[in-house]
Structure 1
Amino acid sequence: MSITERVAELSAKLKQQRDSVETEEATKNALVMPFIGKVLGYDVFNPAEVVPEFTADVGTKKGEKIDYALVHEGHVQILIETKKITEPLRLEHASQLFRYFSVTNARIAVLTNGQTWEFYTDLDEPNKMDSKPFLVLDLAAIDRTLLPPLAKLTRDSFDIDSVLSTAGELKYIGTIKRILAAEFKDPSDEWVRFLAARVYDGKNITQKVREQFYPLVEKAAHQFLTEQVNDRLKTALGSDESGSSTVDTVPVTQPADQAATTTENPEQERGDRSREIITTEEELEAYRVVCAIVCSEVSADRIFGRDTKTYFGVLLDDNNRKPIARLWFNRSQRYLGVFDENKTETRLPIERAEDIYSHSDQLRKTVAGYLSRINEKG
């Protein structure tokens, strides 16, 4: 499995089990050890690779323990300190990491609660752990741009020099992205003042003006993000490279992967058909609902949409043989097409996109079935 698939698998597990993981030990067993084993590729049962309760005397501090030390080529390279998943990470949680970082060979220190993984190194001062992480991975909302550097910390692809060479860029880009995300979610006074000063015709940005602009900035930010997402979806769905027009309509009782092209020149037919396809905002909204539902089973980056003249298809891994749902919205009576284990479609009447939530169990079952068969094949 690729690093993306391994992280996605653990992300799905996190979403399923999070509410039942309450203690630090449960966090270690359910999430931290699987991350070390499945994502990073270390044998958690081999003390030559993973040392639990790692001890190194530090000055007057005797017998302090770090939860895990990861060993590569005979040297401790990564230190991991764990907190329970219900506890937000704070820098004071990393006091032992700070002390151990200076007395071991480790160049990477990790603070985690099982969901959020903060990776630290010594960019600011040699042999002294930084106060800010260079990489923050949230398993509940995976940033795929972080997976390539994460892959370089895995046992089989360990390349600490390459990671450290890009750590500074990762640190500042990551911090800026988190600041922007926070501002888009809940604009600060500084952010509101900054934007208001560029559009307000008055001379002074008074408190009254800031209060006036706060909801406007918040609304503009939400609309901007929505438009960006919709534009990307429309581009992907309308792209020749995405294959958006290659899905053929099949009878409702026919398994989805038995569709056949019926013309002597299928490429020409697909080209003609793609020019007639119009993806509506309502279809995109329903697509997002399906994504929100099945994200409990699989990473969002494995869910794809393809539009056709007659329906909008939602697929796993962009594979026409793995249909998750069909949105029959090009008619007065809308239908949601769902699939059983034989990929036979059943159309369920719905009025609006929100009605799809009533069929969440069936959609999740369909995705779980595909994942189970994939795992069985190895």
Structure 2
Amino acid sequence: MTRLDQPLKIKNVHIRNRLVLPPITTGYGSAEGLVTEDILHFYTERSRQVGLTIVEATAVQSNGCIVPCSLGLWNDSQIFGMATLAKAIKAQGALAVVQLNHAGPKCSPRENEKQRLSPSGIAFRTDVEAIVMDAQDIAQLIDDFSKAAVRAAKAGFDGVEIHGAHLYLLSQFLSPLTNKRNDRYGGDAKGRATLALEIVRSVRKNLEPEYPIFFRINAEEKIEGGQTFEDALVIAKLLAREGVDVFDVSLITQGGWEEIDNKRVLVGSSALPKDQPSGANLSFTTVFKKEIKLPVIGVGKLGIGQAAANAVKNQNIDMVAIGRQMICDPKTAKKMLDKKDADIILCDECLKCFATIGKSVPMACKVNKNLPF
């Protein structure tokens, strides 16, 4: 039986236990995508006991930031700060991985920048115009993901995670809800996976063969017409052949179309609703593990009770991500490992963390008023 405190090996890297700090958009970076003292405080405090820290969505292009103060790896000037961050995380004993992303039309707009890249021009915000990517845009994106991955390796990160979930740009290509293209980047699940496959292929080509590549994927989109679990498995098998080593399995829990200011926009959330039990996504993750035969990360209110321990013990989940719970109590991982769950300061699922980021301001928490600590 696997325990939370048991180590795990991926490629040539060793992870001391099964707990993961997942990528959490904080908005604590600078306007230039640089590491700040707040970023260093946030990750240092939360890397002390977890086995793996995945740094928040880091933009591969300056126009791909989720929030105005997202981290970036779109140019070499950002390597130094990211190296400081990687070193700080690893000094706590955790493996350091950075998530690479382009938010597409889910980006917060900057002054005089109201257009954002998308597969098919579907809007997610009233203040951002989604424009359809052409062949040149796609080629540039592939190159920029690859260059960002190389910069991450130079900065000392132990791995990279490519963000293909949560309806950001790559996720939009993977989903039939948002990908209506009639070229080779659209069509069935295999066609919609083409961009992600080409990005992974390019990243793998430019990194050492043993350098770990993670991929975050929606197991399902609980929106009418969204990506199905069957499609996710097709896509994951293709990605595994191109060199993905670990799947970080998430989902879109709810969403749909809304009319806002006379504009039709698509909205979706990755947070499990308050009435959903912990581990509601783990059945998908277990099947991923069985079908893809690669390590998986499970997510979904796993900082509650024995949910994390049971996931690795009974459901064959390799690693478990503790996100919102680690925002409000950065010592959650230590308390779980010490079997002092009763001492954990519980997240009350108010989603203030999501709400503040949605307003393009630094993340705040109702419970932990001492952020970024």
What's the TM-score once normalised by structure 1's chain length? Answer: 0.27
Larger radius of gyration: 1
**Greater RCO structure (CA 8 Å; 6+ sep):** 2
Higher helix share: 1
Q: TM-score, normalised by structure 2?
A: 0.27
